[in-house]
Amino acid sequence: MSVQFKSTKTNQKDNQLFTQFTYENSIVEKNEIGTYDVTPTSIDYEFRTSLKPKKTGLLLVGLGGNNGTTLLGSVLTNKHQISFENKEGVVKPNYFGSVTQSSTIKLGVDKEGNDVYSPFNSILPMLNPNDLIVDGWDISNLELDAAMKRAQVLDVDLQKQLAPFLKGIKPKPSVYYPDFIALNQKERANNVVNVDSAKEVDTNRKWQDVETIRSDIQNFKKQHNLEQVIVLWTANTERYSDIIDGVNDTSENLLKSIQENHPEVSPSTVFAVASILEGVPYINGSPQNTFVPGVIELAEKNQTFIGGDDFKSGQTKIKSVLAQFLVDAGIRPISIASYNHLGNNDGYNLSSPKQFKSKEISKRGVVDDIIESNQILYNEELGKKIDHCIVIKYLQAVKDSKVAMDEYYSELMLGGHNKISIHNVCEDSLLATPLIIDLVVMTEFLSRVSYKKDNSNEYHNFYSVLTLLSYWLKAPLTKPGYKVINGLNKQRLAIENLLRLLVGLPINNELRFEERLV
């Protein structure tokens, strides 16, 4: 679908779009008598957007896992227009579950006041996932057709049609430090780059591992003549790394610690550092603290994009919506109990306590900013916390169909109570894979946007931590010193409004004066 925008705020030159935008906000100060002083502010910006998507390659850490093989299968299915048959009939290729490929954005209203919507990716030129070049690393050397079969995610008929594209292809050898993932993953680790002459795992060559990954990125980019490479971690959940002064607190200390093979440097951090040093965006799709302070500082210094943590697919996405709904309605949630069980390899790895702890941390923080938004419901007298319990169990029989059960217990007026129970069954990788597509498409798009203040001649890229990716991430990484925004509606609105302002449209609102004023 083609959309033409007629705005006096934009002009196009040399395949670039230039947009004038006034950013309006309010600065709030609390004075001594407990009231707020609110001062409206405005800053004039000019945005510059390249209108040609870059030829992009995606390197997945965990290519042979459930998400990796499903992502690769979805791209091939759509690229080659493969239809297949299951027990419900013929299924045609699609990208359902992807915001960039399957959702819409409100453009405005027609003459009768009716809302008019257009596909998300029709507002500005975006990368087509069918054009992605996909490769990556994995600690398992299983050929990708066999890895897809092992994952048990895609329908058998589709697997058979995809097998010729994948047979004989193996992931690149990956980095494996046994201390960071569950011991039950040891049998899979037969495709490891960090081994010694006796084929034993060697964790005393971490800088060499960084250099190996950098070389892999360089060769991949050169082999396919790529303009952009993005690295995304969709491998096993690691345990949390300890944050230690002098070890990973600054970029200088972190690089030194890698060279000295410090035990608190994780494989995901090694991949992040290698990507940053190559100027390649790195996205963390698992809950571990890959982005220790030293990594964030390194990304800032190298002006390289990073984003994380942990894909927000099912249970947590619902939680960020429902908790916001309750609090915005003036209802006071006092406890949330979340339970789920799953039978894929992610669940198998999470059966280890240290790896579960990483997942628990990423899930637990999703309602923090929602609580802080309402001082009537949450204060010193009533309490500022929600009793939040999270349980994850491995149950092999359910495979990739994750079962989630949640109970929201809330306080109503005058001592009343409300209980909401949700039972949700989802095919985990078929929810997570569209998130990978969106994260990659949006990262490539944001790399083509720059800005300058009205009185400046120099354009700048967005800050290295891409907080605009928060919609797709369970525990969003944010700029140091700033609070995380978890509310799903706020996250989505930020993305929509960025696209609208870049094409000269006003910020979205629902005042609807057409029908509300005489």
DSSP secondary structure of 326-358: HHHTT-EEEEEEEEEEE-SHHHHHHTSHHHHHH
Is residue 369 within 8 Å of residue 487, measured between CB atoms? yes
Active-site choice (138, 310, 406, 428)? 310
Active-site choice (359, 363, 406, 428)? 359
Task: Assess whether 402 carries a catalytic annotation.
Answer: yes
DSSP secondary structure of 281-332: -EEE-SSS----HHHHHHHHHHT--EEES-B--SHHHHHHHHHHHHHHTT-E
Strand order in the sheet with 36-50: 10-13, 16-30, 36-50, 449-453, 460-461
Tokens 């390197």 sit at which residue? 59
Which range, of 260-269, 314-323, 471-480, averages the lowest pLDDT? 314-323
Dist. CA 362–CA 474, nearest whole Å:
6
Dist. CA 22–CA 45, nearest whole Å:
6
pLDDT for 362 beyond 70: no
What integer pLDDT is reported at residue 372 of this predicted model? 86
15 — alpha (psi -120 to 50), left (phi > 0) or beta?
Answer: left
Active-site choice (209, 216, 402, 406)? 402
What integer pLDDT is reported at residue 515 of this predicted model? 81
Tokens 């950013």 sit at which residue? 23
Dist. CA 310–CA 148, nearest whole Å:
22
Of 203 and 9, which is predicted with more confidence? 9
Is residue 175 within 8 Å of residue 192, measured between CB atoms? yes
Task: Assess whether 359 carries a catalytic annotation.
Answer: yes
Which CATH superfamily does the domain covering 315-429 fall into?
Dihydrodipicolinate Reductase; domain 2 (3.30.360.10)
Q: Residue 364's pLDDT band (boundaries 50, 70, 90)? A: low
pLDDT for 399 beyond 80: no
Which range, of 27-36, 340-349, 387-396, 439-448, averages the lowest pLDDT? 340-349
Q: What is the pTM assigned to this prediction?
A: 0.91
Dist. CA 498–CA 449, nearest whole Å:
10
Residues β-bridged to residue 388:
336
Q: Residue 111's pLDDT band (boundaries 50, 70, 90)? A: confident
Query: Considering the chain, what percentage of its residues have pLDDT values greater than 90?
Result: 66
pLDDT in tens, 220-241: 999 999 999 999 999 988 989 9
Dist. CA 487–CA 485, nearest whole Å:
6
Residues β-bridged to residue 230:
58
Dist. CA 18–CA 503, nearest whole Å:
9
Taking the CA atoms of 312, 318, 321 and 322 in sequence, report the sign of the dihedral they define. Answer: negative
Of 230 and 318, which is predicted with more confidence? 230
Task: Assess whether 310 carries a catalytic annotation.
Answer: yes
- What does R_g of the chain's alpha carbons equal in angstroms? 24
Is residue 124 within 8 Å of residue 499, measured between CB atoms? yes
DSSP label of 180: G
Mean pLDDT of the chain: 91
Task: Assess whether 354 carries a catalytic annotation.
Answer: no
What integer pLDDT is reported at residue 198 of this predicted model? 62
SS3 track for 102-120? HCEEEEEECCCCCEEEEEH
